Amino acid sequence: MLFWTTIKLALRSLIGNKLRSVLTMLGMIIGVAAVIAMLALGNGVQSQITKWVSRMGKNTITVFPHNPRIPPVLNGAAEPLTLGDAHAILSIPGVKYVSPVVADSKPVKWGNYHTYCNIIGCASTYILIHDFKVQSGQMFNYFDIRDMASVAVIGPETATRLFGSQNPLGHTITVGTIRFKVIGVLVPKGRQGWFDPDNQVLLPYTTAMTELMGQHQIALNHIDIEVQHASDLTPVQNQIQTVLRIRHSLIDGDSDDFWIASQLQIIKITNRIGGAFTMLLGSVAGIALLIGGIGIMNIMLVTVTERTREIGIRKAIGARQRDVLRQFLIESVLVSVIGGVIGVGVGVVSAHFVKFRHATGVVEPHMILLALCISAGVGVFFGYYPARRAARLNPIEALRYE
């Protein structure tokens, strides 16, 4: 009974000071909306990354030459990944395709047209591993690789930049200083975050390693592998580790001087990065919420002072400390929760509009629950001190207050 009267009264006093209540709530609204929008954005980025990673290809494993867990200084002695390593991996049971990869960025030219793109030296299996399709012409084959042919397969974006609407097939482009004949154009795949698979030039790895990347480079940037079945991922990974440790003459106790990343691991890592990103965004938004809370405290202190006489009257007619405390706490929680509810609405709407690269916000129910709990918590936390101050007022002095 008293509880409902108190809520009714708190609502009336909020309505009685409309502008002040709205401004106080505004702090909470902005804070909660920011929390929702930022968490949603972090969430969206994370799921976008997961999508990109899964688009890299199914059942793939990538072997990198350095163990990221070892500081770079100690990596100096690491053996590079070589074509020999790639061949050794090819003979592991369960492996379907292997492609050695050397990569670089270089200017590419056709006539007066220039662009700058990723140059990938790879095997013909590269497009199978990564799910690329050729829209016109064809992929280079075993013979092109064996003969170190000067042929190139280009991405659709690269084709547009160099050739416009013309058909690039049969034309000769210059990559760095070497001339290559365009024999195929890939089907667009869509941008994958920082990496644009549509703007690249694929070359036979033999040609790329001998002609383009300097004098007979032997180090590979990575080795891309596809296994037969998803169930082969783990055994193949273990086999690769065993094989490479033997080939690199590592003894027990040495750390791997290479790093085997399956899609699963990459997803795990990107999730961790995404989580950190979300935390960062969330804490920035949390600061907005903190400021909203301070606003509430400030206004509640003013309210308590203004209503000193009312507090005196209540105490004279028998209000105990906890009655007064509860009354003001309910009022501050009401402000923060109403602000929080509106903030959730604003946050959910704005989550659809905030963008980071290609990720939009994704709101989940637990975020809304969290935001509402936090806003109620803010009301209690920042309302407690003013409410306690009200509760402890001396009734005589409070009654005398004009």
Partner 1 sequence: MESVKPILELKQIIKRYHLDAGDVLALDRINLQILLGEMFAITGPSGSGKTTLMNILGCLDVADEGEYILDGEDVSELEGDALSNIRNRKIGFVFQSFNLLPRLSALENVEMPLLYAGVRHARNVATEALETVGLAERLHHEPAQLSGGQRQRVAIARAIVTNPAIILADEPTGNLDSRVGRDILNLFHDLNAQGRTIVVVTHDSGVAKHCAREARIRDGRVVDILEHSSVHTSGTAEIDPPLAATG
For position 214 contacting partner 1 by CB under 8 A, the verdict is no
The CB-of-376 to partner 1 minimum distance in angstroms stands at 24
The CB-of-329 to partner 1 minimum distance in angstroms stands at 16
For position 323 contacting partner 1 by CB under 8 A, the verdict is yes
- Whichever of 58 and 320 has its CB closer to partner 1, that residue is 320
- Whichever of 2 and 349 has its CB closer to partner 1, that residue is 2
Judged by CB under 8 A, the residue of 57, 176, 193, 395 near partner 1 is 395
Torsion angle in degrees (nearest 10) through CA of 192, 194, 196, 200: -140
For position 193 contacting partner 1 by CB under 8 A, the verdict is no
Judged by CB under 8 A, the residue of 71, 214, 318, 365 near partner 1 is 318
β-partners of residue 383 are none
The size of the interface with partner 1 (CB under 8 A), counted in residues, is 24
For position 317 contacting partner 1 by CB under 8 A, the verdict is yes
The CB-of-394 to partner 1 minimum distance in angstroms stands at 9
For 360, phi then psi, to 5°, come to: -105, 165
Distances (CA, A) of 87 to 97, 100, 247: 11, 9, 11
Element (H, E) at 387: helix 365-391
Unique residue bearing structure tokens 């905030």: 354
Distance separating alpha carbons of residues 247 and 44, to the nearest angstrom: 42
Stretch that binds partner 1, among 275-283, 295-303, 313-321, 349-357 (CB under 8 A): 313-321
DSSP 393: -
Distance separating alpha carbons of residues 310 and 298, to the nearest angstrom: 19
- Whichever of 280 and 396 has its CB closer to partner 1, that residue is 396
Stretch that binds partner 1, among 5-13, 172-180, 210-218, 240-248 (CB under 8 A): 5-13
Distances (CA, A) of 97 to 87, 130, 155, 247, 326: 11, 11, 21, 20, 70
For position 380 contacting partner 1 by CB under 8 A, the verdict is no
For 179, phi then psi, to 5°, come to: -100, 135
H-type helices in 198-232, by residue range?
A: 205-207
In 3-state terms, the chain is what percent helix, strand and coil (to 5)?
A: 55, 20, 25
Judged by CB under 8 A, the residue of 179, 322, 355, 357 near partner 1 is 322
Stretch that binds partner 1, among 71-79, 94-102, 165-173, 311-319 (CB under 8 A): 311-319
Q: From the CB of residue 79, how many other CB atoms can be counted at a distance below 10 Å?
A: 15
- Whichever of 286 and 395 has its CB closer to partner 1, that residue is 395
- Whichever of 6 and 237 has its CB closer to partner 1, that residue is 6
Residues 14-53 that bind partner 1 (CB under 8 A): 16
Judged by CB under 8 A, the residue of 140, 267, 314, 379 near partner 1 is 314
For position 305 contacting partner 1 by CB under 8 A, the verdict is no
**CA triplet 223, 228, 229: central angle to 5 degrees?**
115
Stretch that binds partner 1, among 12-20, 150-158, 195-203, 261-269 (CB under 8 A): 12-20
At residue 174, the 3 state secondary structure works out as strand
Distance separating alpha carbons of residues 135 and 269, to the nearest angstrom: 33
Length in residues, the chain: 402
Stretch that binds partner 1, among 24-32, 291-299, 304-312, 367-375 (CB under 8 A): 304-312
- Whichever of 4 and 194 has its CB closer to partner 1, that residue is 4
Judged by CB under 8 A, the residue of 218, 316, 349, 373 near partner 1 is 316
Instruction: Report yes or no: 343 and 33 within 8 Å, Cβ to Cβ.
Output: yes
For position 276 contacting partner 1 by CB under 8 A, the verdict is no
Write the DSSP string, 272-295: HHHHHHHHHHHHHHHHHHHHHHHH
For position 131 contacting partner 1 by CB under 8 A, the verdict is no
- Whichever of 58 and 309 has its CB closer to partner 1, that residue is 309
- Closest by alpha carbon to 126, among 158, 89, 157, 100? 100
Judged by CB under 8 A, the residue of 313, 354, 372, 376 near partner 1 is 313
Judged by CB under 8 A, the residue of 62, 315, 351, 383 near partner 1 is 315
Unique residue bearing structure tokens 């995404």: 274
Instruction: Report yes or no: 310 and 360 within 8 Å, Cβ to Cβ.
Output: no
Which stretches of the chain bind partner 1, using CB under 8 A? Answer: 1-2, 5, 9, 12-13, 16, 309-310, 312-323, 395-396, 399
